[in-house]
Amino acid sequence: MSEPGSHADRMARAALTWLAEPGNRAVWTLVQRVGAPAALERLLAGNLPDKWLQAAISARTAAGDARQMAEEAMSRADEVGARLVVPSDPEWPARVDALARLEIDSGSRVNRDTRPPLCFWVRGELRLGAALDRSVAIVGARASTGYGTYVTNDLAYGLAEKGWTVVSGGACGIDAAAHRAALAADGVTVSVLACGVDRPYPVLNAEMFAQIAERGLLISEWPPGAEPLRHRFLIRNRVIAAATAGTVVVEAAARSGATQTMSRVLALDRPAMVVPGPVTSAMSVGCHELLRKHPYTRLVTSVADVLEEVGRIGEYLEPPPRGRERVRDRLDEESALIMEALPRRGAVSAEEIAAEARLDLRTVLRRLSLLEAAGLVVRTESGITLARRGG
């Protein structure tokens, strides 16, 4: 059995990610049991109990040699300044190992095959584990509204300013807004791709991806050259959920990748945060459904709300939002009754106040002295009146 992190181990993991889609339960389990090189040998030899996996492996081997593909991927990675990170490397993001216990109550293959990555292809100079140690994912609709973009900009910029890494998927809309706001704040952002790190998708965001590679990280489970196939985005979402301290959904339609990501966040028992939107917006239907159906989702509207959820206990406690406190707000019950008994205009006697407030005269006289000292009432020759600026 080859040593973890050895050349043979790394090449086998690269070959396995070319042969089978990441997260495959049978492949990951086999690697855990016998190691990546031996697992690769068994897959190529055939006779697997999982007939669907055997068919997929056969189709891939007909298209090329897995070991040769791994060598080519390594060469291509070198050309674009990327590297392969495996679980035995110091920079491996430990949080993703929680996917070993992830179980989704659904029969679909994407929901069943949610095991941890075998490796990551990484483009950028930052250490992967360190970049993801204090990170928050912000995800949402590609067809974002002005409202969604505004909220995303505010959240991502604020989190980056506080030293948190902003993670997203690089798509147009909410994803792109999150990445760009973090870059604008001179913060760190990580884009988790569903294709090779040498061909980030969509091409419309090519300039943004170049900035992320320079100042943050582009990461993928698929080798360089891999295409952004539709199902790969759904596979990729489990990494966004697992690698971060919590996830914020800003806008999401009724059925969307963002709500699918949140199902993984909830299953992993990570902070699942949702930004509410206008009830008339189709782009907030998914958000409102999450809040309505899942009691463990948290409504957030600000950076302070997000930090309170993901920070260490007591690290970011914020006082509850309150209106401007007035002097009257601090009055005891008897003084408050006296203030209520005073007319808005005109003067009254202490006896009239006592009758209206239903208090004895001695109590009224004592409290009036305190209210006068506080600047809330004024004594005149004609009686007692409210002070003009009495709060």
pLDDT band at 329 (very low <50, low <70, confident <90, very high): low
* 243 three-class SS: helix
Which sequence spans correspond to the domains of the chain? Answer: 1-68, 80-310, 327-386
Residue 116 has pLDDT above 70, yes or no: yes
Q: Is the dihedral of CA 377, 379, 382, 384 positive or negative?
A: positive
**Burial degree of 347 (CB within 10 A; 0-12, 13-18, 19+):** middle
CATH code linked to domain 80-310: 3.40.50.450
Least trusted range by pLDDT, from 48-57, 153-162, 320-329: 320-329
Provide the pLDDT for residue 389.
Answer: 62
State the number of CA atoms in the 13 A half-sphere of 57 facing the CB: 21
- Tens of pLDDT, residue by residue over 287-310, are 999 999 999 999 999 999 999 999
Share of the chain above pLDDT 70, in %: 94
Please give the average per-residue pLDDT across 90-98, as a whole number.
97
Euclidean distance between CA atoms 251 and 139, whole angstroms? 8
Q: DSSP states of 163-205 as a string?
A: TPEEEE---TTHHHHHHHHHHHTT--EEEEESS-TTS-S-GGG
Please give the average per-residue pLDDT across 230-252, as a whole number.
96
CA neighbor of 19 nearest in space, from 181, 168, 221: 221
Provide the pLDDT for residue 237.
Answer: 96
- Tens of pLDDT, residue by residue over 118-148, are 999 999 999 999 999 999 999 999 999 999 9
Euclidean distance between CA atoms 23 and 132, whole angstroms? 20
Residue with tokens 């007319």: 343
Domains 80-310 and 327-386 share a fold: no
Domain at 327-386, CATH from 1.10.10.10, 1.20.1250.30, 3.90.1660.10, 3.40.630.30: 1.10.10.10
- Tens of pLDDT, residue by residue over 182-208, are 999 999 999 999 999 998 899 999 999
Please give the average per-residue pLDDT across 199-218, as a whole number.
95
* Cis upstream peptide for 224 (omega within 30°): no
Provide the pLDDT for residue 163.
Answer: 96
Euclidean distance between CA atoms 167 and 294, whole angstroms? 23
Average pLDDT of the chain, as a whole number: 91
Euclidean distance between CA atoms 172 and 237, whole angstroms? 16
- Tens of pLDDT, residue by residue over 253-266, are 887 888 899 999 99
Task: Give a three-class secondary structure readout of 69-131.
Answer: HHHHHHHHHHHCCEEEECCCCCCCCHHHHHHHHCCCCCCCHHHHCCCCCCCEEEECCCCHHHH
Q: Which tokens hold the place of 109? A: 């293959």
pLDDT band at 391 (very low <50, low <70, confident <90, very high): very low
pTM score over 0.85? no
Residue with tokens 């600000």: 302
Provide the pLDDT for residue 373.
Answer: 83
Provide the pLDDT for residue 120.
Answer: 98
Q: Which tokens hold the place of 60? A: 């891939």
Residue 179 has pLDDT above 70, yes or no: yes
Euclidean distance between CA atoms 173 and 303, whole angstroms? 19
Task: Give a three-class secondary structure readout of 135-174.
Answer: EEEEECCCCCCHHHHHHHHHHHHHHHHCCCEEEECCCCCH
Q: Say if CB 200 and CB 121 are below 8 A apart.
A: no
Provide the pLDDT for residue 317.
Answer: 59
Residue 49 has pLDDT above 60, yes or no: yes
Provide the pLDDT for residue 254.
Answer: 81
Least trusted range by pLDDT, from 41-50, 277-286, 325-334: 325-334
